[in-house]
Amino acid sequence: MGCRTATLVVCMLCFAAPQLTVAAESEDLHPYLERGFSLDLGVFFPDRELDLRVNGTLTGDNDEIDFDRRGRLKRSDEIFAAELSWRFRGRWSVVGQYFKSADSTRAVLAKDIEWGNVVFGAGSNAAVGTNFSLTRIFFGRQLNTSKSHDVGIGGGLHLFDIGAFIEGEILINGTTAAARRSVGDDALLPNIGAWYKYSISPRWALRARLDLLSADVGDYDGLLLNVALGLNFRAFEHVGFGLNYNYFELDVGIDKSDWRGDIETTYHGVYVNVSFYY
């Protein structure tokens, strides 16, 4: 956990502790289990891993371009994430979620790599990277009737927007020049999931969630795994704070005319958020 993450966590807990004694308990349960709407806005501080393959041509061979530099990603800004939840008709709910990230790494090419109509020369220092955004709509139904516990299952759709690029030096008429080639695509794929919420007290709630996609759909074949576990503290009537651990893994194979390859990326770390309940 980085310095900024630790500072945010400490500040949040220090703020939360005094509130336990000064605010009256107006409800029997935490708002996550009683209110119809909740909005979480937060920042994800993940450790990242990236394994990106894009099929191209290695001069003299017919192999795939394989950039495998796990743990050597260029650190980008922390990831903003948002989630909106609406519970209706007692046991039914719909959830919308969004986050976006971009990562890159560099490698010295062992062989010439041809991508499209350019050749990236062996020995040059090339950059490779990926950008990824996720928009999720999830419909679920509560299974139990216990007052302090909320267990449910459901399904929905994930809209992926995935891109990859390579940039480096190429040789043109005996001189070197910088070049960049990129590919990108989006896909709307189904997923299933489950959640659990426990109202420890009117102030504190425990949340856990699991999302899973493992399917061969059209031009895509892959795995999506999203696991989250956290605590939420209601500081005021309509405002609270959350501290969570998230694990997100995406392993997608793509088989299209302009992009054959795969992306394996993992994000895991602390997610802190502000919650609004209505």
Domain spans of the chain, in order of start: 3-277
Where does residue 1 rank: exposed (0-12), middle (13-18), buried (19+ CB within 10 A)? exposed
Q: Are 6 and 181 in contact (CB under 8 A)?
A: no
Of 49-63, 170-184, 232-246, the poorest mean pLDDT is in: 49-63
Q: Rounded distance, CA 22 to CA 19, Å? A: 5
Asked whether the predicted pLDDT for residue 206 surpasses 90, the reply is yes
The H helix count followed by the E strand count for the chain is 2, 14
| Contact residues for 241 (Cβ-Cβ < 8 A; gap 6+) | 12, 15, 16, 232, 233, 235, 272, 273, 274, 275
Q: What is the CA radius of gyration of the chain?
A: 23
pLDDT category at 120 given cuts 50, 70, 90 is confident
Q: Rounded distance, CA 195 to CA 81, Å? A: 18
Q: Are 139 and 156 in contact (CB under 8 A)?
A: yes
Segment 47-97, tens digit of pLDDT: 877 666 666 544 334 344 544 433 344 455 678 999 999 998 878 999 999
Q: How large a percentage of the chain has pLDDT more than 70?
A: 74
Of 86-95, 188-197, 259-268, the poorest mean pLDDT is in: 259-268
Asked whether the predicted pLDDT for residue 270 surpasses 90, the reply is yes
Of 76-80, 144-148, 155-159, the poorest mean pLDDT is in: 76-80
Q: Rounded distance, CA 24 to CA 91, Å? A: 28
Which listed CATH number (3.30.1490.100, 2.40.128.90, 3.40.430.10, 3.40.50.620) goes with 3-277? Answer: 2.40.128.90
pTM for the model: 0.74
20-38 in b/e form (b: 16+ CB < 10 A) is eeeeeeeeebbbbbebeeb
Segment 12-58, tens digit of pLDDT: 444 444 443 333 344 689 999 989 999 999 999 888 776 666 665 44
- Region for residue 6 given its phi and psi (left: phi exceeds 0; alpha: psi -120 to 50; beta: otherwise): alpha
| Contact residues for 178 (Cβ-Cβ < 8 A; gap 6+) | 167, 168, 169, 170
* DSSP letter, residue 9: H
Q: Rounded distance, CA 249 to CA 264, Å? A: 8
Q: What tokens appear for 238 in the block?
A: 């309509």
144-163 in b/e form (b: 16+ CB < 10 A) is eeeeeebebebebebebebb
Q: Are 263 and 131 in contact (CB under 8 A)?
A: no
Q: Which helix (H) or strand (E) holds 13?
A: helix 3-22
